[in-house]
């Protein structure tokens, strides 16, 4: 019997060397789908809000045995050190937090994923105190990520194409028509903040958080977050500026930016990003846009992204802008490589590359096995142009410094706009179209939205998947049409359970796949059996993804009731759930 408790995504990432998987990680994304449906039903039955990441992790000898090199780096650090501490069980958070306070830290708990963020006066003292603590799954540095960056609905005479060419390139207008002008889904933007006073965002901002101060002030001194947000949700038809691809769609703006170690702006710590992801999940976000990238991938990031999946939130990330850098070009960058499916396969989110108006991938755009698809994000002329979006009123932003060659424009109202290049600006276009597709078919699960987008993307050259543009450029019209007929109906799970002493005999029955009239039929039904021994907080797989019905014995253990559940899932990941009973060991 294997526990279905995942603290990392490495099982999906053969090429991701930094990720450490749980010893009991499942074998693929379809296992997650069945478990998520079981956890969601339990959450609804208990009137809970967001779903906590299933813990505990499988016991190891110690945290030191799991990441000795990381602990050594923490112990050697001079002065105070920012760290992230992952616990093995949610119930361990208060006790480990007390230990951190004794060390002079003021820890912050990320309760969704079982992680504590803290700045400790001494890394060496932290390692001495917690390296052998059985409650601690890992300790890691809070690493730095960077932004993946570098009346206008008319032709730009300097380029000969529309300012808003990116909007037309992904056929956003057709998707908006199909969605009724916008989406009731909410897009969270974890970035450098947002100029909420910009006229293009009037009535479009649902919630805000500054991760450093904990307040709602998300003033954007860099400009990156405001630019990204405008590509999603800038107002159309107000005689100001351009227009966002998602139309009337609400934003959650998270300012997770901090000063970089070299003194520049536009960097993010893992802790701030994780804090932003948890806030987005708890605030009801549906799409999570992360226009940021870094070469390291930590277990805290993995937990946060896994929690997003379990809460049916779609993460979208920039693939990265380092394909041409002089030293070690084209690195694997995260979180994009953690969420994009391998070679066009199913993942938990989307890794987005950048293309130019001619449909060719941008030279700077990272390419690898995890690129899902592409969206506009560059010019085929010079760095003066690119995609067009909003800038904050405050100056100077990154667009205003002498080293920037991007063109800045001001309209008659005094509102500021600019061109920009980067996979940072391709990702929000994909995020915005994803929100519209979810409006066209509200019953889609998060990874099904991603699958609809990748399956209908327009490949500029050839067919199938490639490492540069993934399955092609986002196509809002084709995706809307596919969403209307996508099979979202789960098979009915069937099964019986009969007690025999301290064992239960389970028979999982055959299910016939079904679909709505005029929709596709996914087929390929598989069967799983799960048991919870803690009232539904965690589940173990007794049998997983069997192609045929089966019988099995389940041993009853522990002091609490054992809840037994069977699932029947079709090839699209629609899972029917059958509660077979609750039994207590005698």
Quote the pLDDT of residue 44.
Answer: 61
570, part of any domain? yes
**Per-residue pLDDT averaged across 82-105, rounded?**
94
Residues 535 and 429 placed together within one structural domain of the fold: no
Q: How far apart are CA 312 and CA 294, in angstroms?
A: 24
> Is residue 27 very low, low, confident or very high in pLDDT (cuts 50, 70, 90)?
very low
Average pLDDT of span 51-56: 81
pLDDT in tens, 372-391: 999 999 998 888 889 999 99
User: Do 440 and 502 fall within a single domain?
Assistant: no
- Do 522 and 472 fall into the same domain? no
Asked whether residue 99 falls in the same domain as residue 236, the answer is no
**79 has a pLDDT exceeding 90:** no
| Helices (runs of H) and strands (runs of E) counted in the chain | 14, 28
Answer whether the bond into residue 554 is a cis peptide, omega within 30°.
no
Task: Tell which phi-psi region holds residue 426, choosing left (phi > 0), alpha (psi between -120 and 50) or beta.
Answer: alpha
DSSP assignments along 180-195, one per residue: TSEEEEEEEEEEB---
Residues 227 and 198 in one domain: yes
User: Is the preceding omega at residue 56 within 30 degrees of 0, hence cis?
Assistant: yes
Helix, strand, coil percentages for the chain (3-state, nearest 5): 25, 25, 50
The fraction of the chain above a pLDDT of 90, given in percent, is 73
Range of the domain at 194: 148-485
Q: Which residues contact 48 (CB under 8 A, 6 or more apart)?
A: none
DSSP 8-class letter at 53: P
Residue 41, domain member (yes or no): no
Average pLDDT over residues 277-291: 97
Query: What count of Cα atoms within 13 Å lies in the side-chain half-sphere of residue 553?
Result: 5
74 and 208 part of one domain: no
Query: Which of residues 85, 112, 142 is at a domain's end?
Result: 142
Report how far residue 308's alpha carbon sits from residue 324's, in angstroms, rounded to the nearest whole number. Answer: 32
3-state secondary structure at position 98: helix
Average pLDDT over every residue of 189-210: 97
CATH number of the domain bearing residue 85: 3.30.70.80
In a domain, 33, yes or no: no
- Kindly indicate the confidence band of residue 456, based on its pLDDT and cuts at 50, 70 and 90: very high
Domain end (from 142, 159, 190): 142
What distance in Å separates the CA atoms of residue 17 and residue 298, rounded to the nearest whole number? 11
Mean pLDDT, all residues of the chain: 89
Is 3 inside any structural domain? no
Q: How many CB atoms lie within 10 A of CB 489?
A: 17
CA distance 324 to 328: 9
Counting the structural domains of the chain, the total is: 3
> Which pair of tokens denotes residue 127?
């390692």
509 with 424, same domain: the answer is no
Q: Is residue 12 a part of any domain in this protein?
A: no
Whether residues 112 and 241 share a domain: the answer is no
Q: Give the model's pLDDT for residue 4.
A: 28
pLDDT value for 62: 53
CATH of the domain at 556: 2.60.40
Q: How far apart are CA 3 and CA 554, in angstroms?
A: 14
User: Are 526 and 30 within 8 A, CB to CB?
Assistant: yes
In angstroms, the CA 458 to CA 469 distance is: 10
Beta partners for residue 529, in sequence order: 543, 566
| Dist. CA 7–CA 114, nearest whole Å | 10
Please, which pLDDT band fits residue 153 given cuts at 50, 70 and 90? low
Q: pLDDT digit string (tens) for 249-282?
A: 999 999 999 888 888 888 899 999 999 999 999 9
In sequence order, the 6+-apart residues with CB closer than 8 A to the CB of 313 are 280, 281, 285, 286, 287, 288, 446
Residue 109's contacts (CB-CB under 8 Å, 6 or more residues apart) are 93, 97, 115, 116
Could you tell me if residue 32 is inside a domain? no
Indicate if the pLDDT at residue 534 is higher than 90. Answer: no
C-alpha to C-alpha distances, 167 to 234, 246, 372, 383, 563, nearest whole angstrom: 11, 10, 20, 19, 50
Residue predicted with more confidence, 160 or 138:
138
Q: List the CATH number of the domain containing 371.
A: 3.40.50.200
138 and 171, same domain (yes or no): no
Tens of pLDDT, residue by residue over 461-502, are 888 999 999 999 999 999 999 999 999 999 999 999 999 999
End residue of a domain, out of 113, 142, 171: 142
Please give, one letter per residue, the 3-state secondary structure of 54-74: CCCCCCCCCHHHHCHHHHHHH
- Closest to 150 measured CA to CA, from 384, 356, 316: 384
* Cα 7-8-13 angle, rounded to 5 deg: 160
- Whether residue 228 is found in the same domain as residue 301: yes
Q: Is the domain of 177 the same as that of 303?
A: yes
State pLDDT tens for residues 398-415.
899 888 888 899 988 889
Residue 20 has pLDDT above 50, yes or no: no
Query: Same domain for 154 and 215?
Result: yes
Q: Is residue 98 domain-resident?
A: yes
Looking at residues 345-351, what average pLDDT do you find? Answer: 95
Predicted confidence at residue 22, as pLDDT, reads 34
In a domain, 517, yes or no: yes
**Predicted pLDDT of residue 427:** 98
Nearest to 583 by CA among 528, 508, 533, 542: 533
């Amino acid at each position: 019997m294997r526990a279905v408790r995942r603290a990392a995504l490495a099982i999906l990432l053969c090429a991701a060397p930094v990720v450490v998987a749980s010893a009991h990680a499942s074998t693929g994304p379809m296992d997650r789908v069945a478990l998520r449906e079981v956890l969601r039903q339990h959450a609804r039955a208990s009137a809970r809000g967001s779903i906590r990441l299933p813990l505990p992790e499988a016991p190891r000898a110690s945290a030191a045995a799991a990441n000795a090199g990381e602990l050594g780096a923490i112990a050697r650090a001079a002065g105070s050190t920012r760290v992230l501490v992952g616990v093995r069980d949610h119930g361990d958070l208060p006790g480990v937090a007390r230990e951190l306070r004794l060390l002079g830290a003021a820890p912050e708990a990320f309760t969704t994923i079982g992680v504590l963020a803290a700045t400790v006066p001494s890394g060496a003292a932290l390692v001495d105190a917690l390296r052998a603590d059985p409650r601690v799954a890992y300790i890691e540095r809070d690493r730095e990520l960077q932004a993946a960056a570098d009346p206008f609905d008319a032709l730009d005479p300097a380029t000969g194409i529309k300012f808003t060419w990116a909007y037309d390139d992904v056929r956003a207008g057709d998707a908006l028509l199909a969605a009724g002008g916008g989406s009731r889904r909410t897009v969270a933007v974890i970035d450098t903040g947002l100029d909420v006073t910009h006229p293009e965002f009037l009535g479009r901002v649902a919630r805000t958080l500054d991760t450093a101060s904990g307040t709602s002030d998300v003033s954007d001194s860099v400009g990156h977050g405001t630019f990204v947000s405008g590509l999603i949700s800038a107002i159309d038809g107000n005689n100001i500026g351009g227009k966002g691809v998602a139309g009337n769609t609400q934003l959650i703006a998270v300012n997770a930016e901090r000063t970089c170690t070299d003194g520049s702006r536009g960097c993010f710590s893992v802790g701030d990003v994780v804090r932003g992801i948890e806030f987005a999940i708890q605030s009801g976000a549906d799409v999570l846009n992360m226009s940021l990238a870094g070469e390291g991938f930590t277990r805290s990031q993995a937990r946060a992204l896994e929690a997003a999946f379990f809460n049916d939130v779609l993460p979208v990330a920039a693939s990265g802008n380092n394909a041409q850098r002089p030293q070690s070009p084209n690195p694997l960058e995260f979180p994009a490589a953690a969420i994009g499916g391998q070679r066009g396969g199913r993942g938990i989110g989307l890794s987005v590359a950048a293309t130019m108006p001619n449909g060719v991938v941008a030279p700077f755009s990272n390419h690898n096995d995890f690129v899902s698809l592409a969206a506009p994000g560059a010019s085929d002329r010079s760095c003066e142009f690119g995609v067009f979006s909003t800038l904050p009123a405050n100056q100077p932003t990154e667009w205003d410094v002498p080293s920037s060659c991007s063109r800045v424009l001001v309209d008659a109202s005094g509102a500021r706009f600019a061109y920009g290049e980067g996979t940072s600006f391709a990702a929000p276009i994909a995020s915005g179209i994803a929100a519209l597709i979810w409006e066209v078919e509200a019953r889609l699960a998060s990874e099904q939205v991603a699958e609809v987008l990748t399956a209908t993307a327009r490949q500029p050259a050839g067919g199938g998947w490639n490492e540069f543009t993934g399955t092609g450029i986002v196509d809002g019209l084709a995706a809307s049409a596919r969403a209307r007929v996508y099979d979202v109906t789960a098979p009915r799970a069937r099964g019986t359970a009969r007690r025999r002493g301290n064992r239960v005999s389970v028979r999982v029955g055959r299910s016939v796949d079904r679909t709505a009239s005029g929709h596709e039929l996914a087929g390929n039904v598989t069967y799983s059996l799960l048991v919870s021994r803690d009232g539904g907080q965690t589940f173990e797989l007794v049998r997983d993804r069997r192609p045929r019905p089966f019988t099995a014995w389940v041993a009853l253990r522990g002091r609490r009731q054992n809840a037994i559940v069977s699932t029947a899932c079709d090839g699209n990941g629609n899972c029917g759930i059958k509660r077979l009973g609750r039994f207590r060991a005698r």
